[in-house]
Structure 1
Amino acid sequence: MSASATRQGHAVLDLVSRQWKGRKIERLLGLGESTQVRRLLEVGTGSGGIAHFFASQASPTFDVDAVDVTDARQVVEGYRFTLVPSALLPFESESFDVVLTNHVIEHVGDSSDQMTHLREIRRVLKADGLVYLAVPNRWMLVEPHYKLPFLSWLPRKLRSTYVRWSGRGTHYDCEPLERGELEIMTGRAGFDARNISVEAFRATLAIEGNKGTIASIVARMPDTWLQKLEAIIPTHIYLLRKSS
């Protein structure tokens, strides 16, 4: 594999933030409403914090699997972990009630690999299952992995040059998506997609509190205003269900 194609690890190792993220996902998907044991898969588990959060809940109860291409886990208790070499998933079809793919699709490769990622998630999802999909917006002001302004705005052939020039690495190894192309891809993969970015923002504030003046101002905006900003917010968040 060439240097330009090598995908690096970008796991979030702050376990406190992973607990907050787990609570937010649970709230957004309405996962506290069932008394049944549900099987959950986290694709790209990173530190293992989110998988551990769901595995450690007394009520509701989850049976948790997690996969990743590298093992960067800081917490390993309570769930099963499998190393995978690609976007293909080592599970039988219709195995999971819930699948989480949180800032993963931008790391799996090009558009073909991203489609494989989505189609594999659909394959292992039960007919009435739910998917939490979070993807960095290509039009975010500051790219979150390399902390460089406007990095993902550039044409692909210039992104690695910017990364090298800044001293942040040898190449850019992510493929963030625009909202429109993400919705086209989820549709082609066989999903009905609902943008829940505004709900996710409200849930973040409820769990973590306001962080700074800008967040406080934005929090006062009505949902109709925030929905007009969905195309430029840093992260696209979607609830996916299988298309009928």
Structure 2
Amino acid sequence: MAQLEYSEFQAAMLDEEKRRRKAAKIVAVLGHFLGRDKDVLAGLTVADIGCSAGFIADELANAGAARTFGVDIDVPGLRKASARFGERVEFLCADGTALPFPDGSIDVLVFNHIYEHVVDPDAIMAEMRRVLADDGVLYLGLGNRLGVMEPHYRLPFLSYLPPALADRYVRLSGRADSYYERYRTRRGLRKMARGFRVWDYTFPVLATPAAFAGSELFPGVVGRLAGGVLSRLPRAVLRALLPVVPTYLWVATKGARRPAGPVLPQPPDPVQTL
């Protein structure tokens, strides 16, 4: 079932400070992959798929994009976005399975914590591959079904449950009438990203949060401690943790493009290659 007017019942979409922190992380990851320190998106055509109220799209425009689009089916969110950011961003009401762009016309796509909300994420991935330029870059923020705490309702193990039990769980909690989100495991996400070459930025961001504006992941002292621990862990240990990481941060391409930024204590891992 399509989640229309999502910003009307999910207050987090209107939390400007939090959304801009997420955007800063996205821009930092893209900057590392592209090998750019300033004006990360200069000269590029960029689209935020699932933009809602437009805060992330606005930050993409602020990062120097030559042209920025925000795409969603959330009409109230798009109205708010257009009223505030319409001079910098072109907002379009469109389904992700039928993006209103020509083949190969977008240099950078952002698909951040959206797939669990849509009816057919595989179809959207195929459509994003169609519109992405041959040397383009796709940023993916992907929730993991095996993350213990479900992020939208803050209920432990909610995403582990089959739909009928998940519905009962959220109703009993008093937080919603139904549980619409559908998460996948890392294996399922790899299948969803088939046809792309994918680099995993999850541990680089966690291990060096200052380099990636990643304070939202583990704020304050906790973040510094977590980053210090992760930066020293052997790669084999980190790989063992991957199945239960709550969120994956991936960068995908259609070709053999590699990260162009400096080497990190925990460099991005290739998730899959073409």
For the 8 Å contact 1:106–1:174, the answer to whether it is kept is yes
Q: Secondary structure at the residue paired with 1:172?
A: coil
Structure 2 CA distance for aligned equivalents of residues 119 and 64 of structure 1 = 21
Q: Secondary structure at the residue paired with 2:14?
A: coil
Aligned to 1:217: 225
| CA spacing shift, 1:175–1:194, aligned 2, 3 Å | same
Unmatched 5+ stretches in structure 1: none
Q: Does 1:64 align with 2:73?
A: no
Moved more, 93-102 or 217-226: 217-226
Structure 2 CA distance for aligned equivalents of residues 182 and 141 of structure 1 = 17
Structure 1 CA distance for aligned equivalents of residues 248 and 140 of structure 2 = 8
Aligned to 1:154: 161
For the 8 Å contact 1:15–1:47, the answer to whether it is kept is no
Q: Secondary structure at the residue paired with 1:134?
A: strand
Q: Deviations over 1:62-88 (max 9, x none)?
A: 310110011314542310000114532
Structure 2 CA distance for aligned equivalents of residues 27 and 208 of structure 1 = 9
Give 1:51 deviation, angstroms: 0.6
Q: Which has the higher helix share?
A: 2
For the 8 Å contact 2:144–2:248, the answer to whether it is kept is yes
Q: Which residue identity lines up with residue 92 of structure 2 in the other structure?
A: T
Identity %: 31
Which of 4, 7, 21 aligns to 2:3? It is 7
Q: Secondary structure at the residue paired with 2:249?
A: strand
Q: Which residue identity lines up with residue 219 of structure 2 in the other structure?
A: K
Q: Deviations over 1:199-239 (max 9, x none)?
A: 22245444354525643432122253444322211111111
Matches within 5 A, 1:1-244: 5=1, 7=3, 9=6, 10=10, 12-30=13-31, 31=34, 32=36, 36-57=42-63, 60-71=64-75, 72=77, 73-74=80-81, 75-77=84-86, 78-85=88-95, 87-109=97-119, 113-187=120-194, 190-202=195-207, 204-206=209-211, 207=213, 209=215, 211=219, 214-221=222-229, 222=232, 224=235, 225-243=237-255
Structure 1 CA distance for aligned equivalents of residues 121 and 56 of structure 2 = 22
Moved more, 222-231 or 89-98: 222-231
Q: Secondary structure at the residue paired with 1:12?
A: helix
Structure 2 CA distance for aligned equivalents of residues 65 and 145 of structure 1 = 26
Over the aligned positions, Cα root-mean-square deviation in angstroms equals 2.2
Structure 2 CA distance for aligned equivalents of residues 214 and 233 of structure 1 = 17
Q: Secondary structure at the residue paired with 1:169?
A: coil
Structure 1 CA distance for aligned equivalents of residues 47 and 209 of structure 2 = 22
For the 8 Å contact 2:208–2:227, the answer to whether it is kept is no
Structure 2 CA distance for aligned equivalents of residues 62 and 83 of structure 1 = 21
Structure 1 CA distance for aligned equivalents of residues 85 and 41 of structure 2 = 25
| CA spacing shift, 1:205–1:234, aligned 2, 3 Å | farther
Structure 2 CA distance for aligned equivalents of residues 35 and 88 of structure 1 = 25
Q: Secondary structure at the residue paired with 1:158?
A: helix
TM-score of the superposition, structure 2-length normalised?
Answer: 0.77
Number of corresponding residues: 233
Q: Deviations over 1:159-215 (max 9, x none)?
A: 11111111111111111110011001211xx11112211122245444354525643
